[in-house]
Structure formats: C-alpha cells, structure tokens
Structure 1
C-alpha cells in the first residue's frame, strides 16, 4: 500500500492553489492524496477565506473548506483517490502528525494572514522543520502545477553526501522527464586567499577542485536514466541555491536537525523562486 501525499489547507487562496500542485504531484507518483485541515489555523493566520468560500457560515466553515479542497483535487485529476481529515488542533501539529504516515507534505508559503508572499508563514516553517517526511513549501511562481511549468530542471543542493536527498531529487527529475542540476557551493577562506604563500596567484583553485571531487563522489551512483548537470559555484550555499532556483521547477535540500531549520534551509525557504522540498536526512 502506497503512503498518501498530504496537503494542508486553511481555506485561503494560496492553500487551495497548493491543492492543485499537490494533486498533480500525487498523480505523478500514483499515490492517494490526503487533504488535512487543522481547525485552529485561524488562531494564527487570520480569517481571510478564498473567494469560493466567501459564503460559508461560521458553523459550516470547516466542512466547507475541506470539501472545497477535495472537490478541487478531484476535478483536476478525476481518477485520483482523495480523502479528507479535519483535526481539532493547530495546523502545524496536525500536519506533522499526518506526515508520520505520509510520503510527502505540501504546504503553501503563507496562509490567511495576507502577509506578502516573500515572507514565510509560521505553519510552513514549523512543518518543514519538524516533519518526519519530505515537505514541499510552494515558493515563487509555481503556476499551480507540479508538472509543465517552465520545464526547468530539478535542482539539488549537494553538501555532505545524503542518500535520502539525492534519491528524492533523482526520482522527481525522472518523473518530470527533466535534467537534474546538482549544485555544490564552495568558498575560499579570505585569510588563505590573502596570506597563504602556496596559493599566491591562484588562491581559489584548490577549493574549487575539492568541491568538484566531492560533487562527483556524491553522484557516483547516479541512475543512468537521469541527465545530470554538475555545477560547482563559489559562494555561500544560502546565496548560491536561491540563485539556482531562478530557472528551476523544483529545488531539493536537506535538513539535518529534527525540529530546526539550519541557516541554509532557512535562507532558501525565504528566498527561493520555485517550490522547495526539505528532506529530513537520516543520520
């Protein structure tokens, strides 16, 4: 039995657009879709509902929200198995719990608060930090579609080798029939570039070469049916990866610490121009 893909909704326009993306992704992976609504979402995100829910009464609002989302997914993919769950809990807790038996969680980058899209909502940030399964945060102009956006590559940030991150990135590239762009950021310490006598004239070359070797080692088991582009880029990963997202359809990164986003993941989630998958790394 395949684990479902989970999408969180709160009745806002961004969350219903996330249902479109999630339905595409579930159909792509041939897994069921579970739509989850944590009824205490309003406590943090306000009460601005999507236009199609403007007529909902306060008593019926939870049922209206979850059913509108399910109908939207079924219209998009009539053969997709769609189930719903309304949980009397905060949204982030409801989604993290649902993720314990899920293949992936999809969340919008913001909810009903009306905060500018460049800012990351508290729910999406908390779920991305605490989930046991990969979490997709829908950033940038994703055009409501998991497939066929700009036909850009899947980008994966490669730090220390992580089989779970690379495995998911290869799978997403294969299913989308697009190349995988593997990006390794590197930096030359400023004091060595200036002071180290052996590095005079070409101080950055050893660091670039080491980054290329590390990238090649990480991709040693790349499947033959995925075209892989290798990129070593000078600069901090928290700047390099958002820049790489500009032409991508999906950006895949790892998360090492349960319950906390590192500096790189935090920066990427705030600045990416495309949807971001945060993959918990098993240590």
Structure 2
C-alpha cells in the first residue's frame, strides 16, 4: 500500500473540506488516510468542553475535532482506512515531521477566526516550504473546487530539467483522475531586447532595415520556452493526455490565470542542499499559495 495521505485538521470548515478532498484522493491511490491535529494546549478557547474531565480543555477539543473528521471521512468513503493522531506540538513542526513518511500532506487554507486564519496561512506556507513530500493546499472557497480531478491538472514549468519530482507528481495525478495534463511555461522578453537595433544610414537595404527593426527577440524567447517545455515533458506515458502551452508574462500571473478553471495547480520548490531549514519557497510558489483559485500542490525537488 502507498504511504498515507496526511491531513492537518483544526475543526474549521476548510480543514473538513480538506478531509473530503484527501479521502477521495486516498481512495484513488489505495492509500491510508491519516488525520492529525497538532497544537500547543491552551491556544484556543475550549474550557467549557473539558467539564469535569481530568484533561486540558484543548486536548478534549482536539479529540472532538479528530473524531468529527474521522466520521466525515468514513461517511464519504467507507473503504478507506482512517487513523487519527493528536499531538501537543506546534502544527508546522508536527506536519513537517509527518511528511517524512507521507505520500502527501493536505491542508485547508483558512482557519476558524481572523487570527487563526493568519496562523493557518503561515502554517501552510511553512509546511509547504519544509516538507519532505508534496504539500497540497486547498485554495478556492467553493465546494466544486475541492473535488480532486474535477478539471485538468496544470503544471508550472520553470528552469528545471526533465523528470523532476513536480513533473512526475503531476503526470501521476493526471493519470489517476483521468484528466488532461496542461504544462505551462511562462516567458518574457527583456525590455532591452525590444529596443529597435541601430541601423547606420546607407549600410542596409530598406527591407533588411525593416526586418531588423521588427526584432526577432520575442520569437526567440517563445521558441526557447517551447523547447524547455518539450524537454521537461519528454518521456510522459502515452496514456496521459498532455498539452504544452507557452505564455508571455510573469510566471506568477500566468499560473494564477490558469488556476481559474483547473482542478489542481502543481509547482516545484527547490531544496537547497545544506540549508538547515530545507526548502525555501520562491516568489512563484508564494504567489500561487496565497492567490490561486484552485488547490495547489507544492512538490519538493533537489537542486
């Protein structure tokens, strides 16, 4: 059996929708679902739940939350094995540790209040930046956006070689869900490349001067982007429908535009060897985690 899918739960509706998404994914993969609540006791209010029990109120609340999440998972998919765990630890540390033995970590994007929402956003970014497995953050506030495989899988291709972990993950997701994989490579033509080249008087013919003035730099940049796409997707199995697309603009903007009608947006995050904090998310990954309108998978890969 595949390594378990881990879901960070906190009792909020976004985290419960993450349970829905993850239990569907676990059923497709034939994997176990592991529901984890992690917090330092006393962070949230909940004294009334403790009653006369000889337990910290937060621990009572945590047990209620994971039991509710377990019931929800069983109610959606009866054939998936579900385990639960409550850990008295900061959630980002607990979930990064869980990622060592997980096939993926799934998180909601918002918490139970304004403060907790900010904290959960921080947890999502921290876990995505340091995990040892893919981290899927359930961006998008509508129920239909939470279903895995609802639409095509979009893969953002950066300056990375063929066969990266992000490519492999996206290909497998497309295969599991039976949807097309759209690989996107953004490109830009630096302003200096668009400046008309100087043409000394009388040195070139009028026709040659016109061609030079038009400039070939944009076409060269687009062609290079297309070649990088082809290299990155080389070796994708024939049973996965694949579409390659180049788009002019900043990678952040291009990928956010594609997220509007995607089922999952996949981006890679490079691990810097020797850095004690592991992954460091770049601007593109930060942007899509905060602003994507569909779920985002951040996949770690070695530099």
TM above 0.5, yes or no, is yes
| Structure 2 CA distance for partners of 1:272 and 1:227, relative to 1, 3 Å | same
Equivalences for residues 70-81 of structure 1 within 5 A: 70-81=70-81
Match for residue 214 of structure 2? Answer: 201
Which segments of structure 1 move beyond 6 Å, counting only runs of 4 or more?
Answer: 115-120
Equivalences for residues 158-197 of structure 1 within 5 A: 158-159=157-158, 160-161=160-161, 162-196=163-197
After TM superposition, give the deviation of residue 70 of structure 1 in Å. Answer: 0.9
Matched, 1:247 2:246: no
TM-score (norm 2): 0.84
Alignment root-mean-square deviation, CA: 2.4
Matches of 1:158 and 1:129 in 2, distance apart?
18
Q: Secondary structure at the match of 2:225?
A: helix
After TM superposition, give the deviation of residue 60 of structure 1 in Å. Answer: 1.9
Per-residue CA distance 1:52-91 (angstroms, 9 max, x = gap): xxx8443621211111111111111111100011111011
Which is worse superposed, 21-30 or 131-140?
21-30
Q: Verify the 8 A CA contact 2:111 2:117 in the aligned structure 1.
A: no
Match for residue 228 of structure 2? Answer: 214
| Structure 2 CA distance for partners of 1:199 and 1:117, relative to 1, 3 Å | farther
| Structure 2 CA distance for partners of 1:158 and 1:261, relative to 1, 3 Å | same
Structure 2 runs not aligned, ≥5 long: 51-56, 199-210, 272-277
Matches of 2:281 and 2:113 in 1, distance apart?
22
| Structure 2 CA distance for partners of 1:142 and 1:25, relative to 1, 3 Å | farther
Aligned residues: 274
Structure 1 runs not aligned, ≥5 long: 50-54
Match for residue 52 of structure 1? Answer: none
TM-score (norm 1): 0.89
Q: Verify the 8 A CA contact 1:142 1:275 in the aligned structure 2.
A: no
Equivalences for residues 14-25 of structure 1 within 5 A: 14-25=14-25
After TM superposition, give the deviation of residue 2 of structure 1 in Å. Answer: 2.2
Which is worse superposed, 266-275 or 105-114?
105-114
Q: Verify the 8 A CA contact 1:41 1:91 in the aligned structure 2.
A: no
